[in-house]
Amino acid sequence: MGLFDEVSVIGPSPFKCASGHVQGGPFQTKSTEDPAMERYYLAEGRLFLADRLCDWDDDASAPEQSVEHVPDSEQCILVVKRPLTAQAMTRQLCVYRACSRCKEVEYRSATTARFRDSLESRSPWVEYEITLIDGKLARVVPIRLETREDVIRQLKEQGLSVVEETARR
Ligand SMILES: [Zn+2]
């Protein structure tokens, strides 16, 4: 059905891309029992489920918000308190995302090859399998961590034309 859930990390993250960029998420996962665009958080080694975002439109369930002043500054910080409920889930979840800190690899897709300026891009993939036991993070196993070189090689294997910095000038 194409539905997934999201998992984000609060605090130190056990996830890194192949180039060492720490990944806080959000990761996508389709491994929960019934993926439904829920927002999960990993914090202090435990799994939490957040109140649904779409419920925020409803005043009755709006999260608690406040404004904090930054000392000696004109700036303020919007503080949103969003209730989290600890989950006693025992399950293996496959979580994945593209690294947003690795530089994207630009390429010309087969369908847009005729148009010189039509570029597509792909970022290195980050995929882990995490094991939760009673909601506690018990194991973190890297499944697929791509470097830019991996992405470039795969695109070339698919017969796609990779556009690197030097070639574009
Ligand atoms: Zn990266």
DSSP, res 24: -
Per-residue tokens: 133: 């036991």
CA of 97 to the centre of ligand 1 (A): 11
For residues 113-128, give the mean pLDDT: 82
CA of 88 to the centre of ligand 1 (A): 31
HSE-CB at 14 with a 13 A cutoff on CA atoms is 18
Confidence tier at 53 by pLDDT (50, 70, 90) = low
CA of 155 to the centre of ligand 1 (A): 18
| pLDDT at position 117 | 59
| Cα distances (Å, whole numbers) of residue 10 to 53, 72, 76 | 17, 28, 22
- Extract the runs of DSSP E, i.e. beta strands, from the chain: 5-10, 27-29, 39-43, 46-50, 64-69, 76-81, 84-86, 91-98, 105-108, 120-122, 125-133, 136-145, 161-163
Could you give the CA distance from residue 78 to residue 56 in angstroms, rounded to a whole number?
A: 15
Per-residue tokens: 122: 């792909």
Residues around ligand 1, an ion, CB closer than 5 A:
17, 19, 21, 99, 101-102
Which residues, listed in sequence order, are joined to residue 28 by a DSSP beta bridge?
A: 6, 96
CA of 21 to the centre of ligand 1 (A): 5
Could you give the CA distance from residue 96 to residue 7 in angstroms, rounded to a whole number?
A: 9
Per-residue tokens: 11: 């605090």
pLDDT digit string (tens) for 54-96? Answer: 455 555 556 678 899 999 999 999 988 888 999 999 999 999 9
- pTM, rounded to two decimals: 0.82
**Lowest-confidence region among 18-22, 103-107, 160-164:** 160-164
CA of 105 to the centre of ligand 1 (A): 12
